[in-house]
Amino acid sequence: MLHPRNRACTGAHSSRRTTNSNCSSLSRYATIWMMKKQMIAALVLLLLIPVVLMLGGFLFSLINPEIAAGHPNYVRNYHILHLVKLASLWGTAVVVAIMWLLVCFLVIRSKERSSWWLLLAALGPLGFAILAILSNKTPKKTDRHEQFVRGLNWFWYIGYQACKFVIIWLLAFQLMVLKRNLMIQYESFTTGVSTAQIIDQQNASSGMWAFAEGNEVMYMVVLLYVIWPVGFNVAARVAATMASHKVR
């Protein structure tokens, strides 16, 4: 039998261990929640990039330096409006670039990696693909995708990442084609012009359309890389739920 003082000491040590364990658990959950918030913020910023581009394009097309014609100081006013028009264009590009860097930075922080990884943001979607496959230093127990990836050996890991890369790029291209066809149908419906004529007009300026659609594909690639783990976890949870119901 323990002396009362020893029992008190044992209780104190036990209480201290429990307190430390609770503090450690709270710290871990706080870190996980912060990581989750960072990924949500990255997704929101990514979704806002097309909005910023559309607003910037609308502002650029709205400013017409020629409205200064017929007014006093035409030359000065024309140059001022021209500079404002260019400023709206470059301002939009700067804002989008900052948002892109923030998206990459938040993904890096959510994985608790060094800020030096931000240099890969210069490679666009290819660099983001590398950032997306970085493993979390503090993986969540509920993150089935991370657990799945960590359970693969190097051969299957490389195969999985290669297949994911191909699937995402093919899916991004198909989404771009779907969006293009829907926009053609919408324009034909609202203007009364046949789809064949609209396609001919696009073919006449194929270089500009190819550039725009290439940017859309790259944007879709980045978006799909962000969404991929979420879809994997949802599918895994649904499969586990269905399996548990079958067992019952």
**pLDDT, tens only, 24-74:** 444 444 444 445 688 788 889 989 999 999 999 888 888 877 776 766 777
Distance in angstroms (rounded) separating the CA atoms of residues 194 and 231: 38
Question: Which among 134, 144, 143, 147 has a CA at the least distance from the CA of 104?
Answer: 134
Output the pLDDT for position 18: 47
Output the pLDDT for position 7: 46
Burial of 134 (0-12, 13-18, 19+ CB in 10 A): middle
Strand, helix or coil at 138?
Answer: coil
The percent of residues in the chain predicted with pLDDT above 70, rounded, is 79
Distance in angstroms (rounded) separating the CA atoms of residues 175 and 216: 9
- Identify whether the C-beta of residue 98 lies closer than 8 Å to the C-beta of residue 27: no
Report, as ranges of residue numbers, the positions in the chain whose pLDDT lies below 70: 1-36, 68, 70-71, 137-142, 247-248
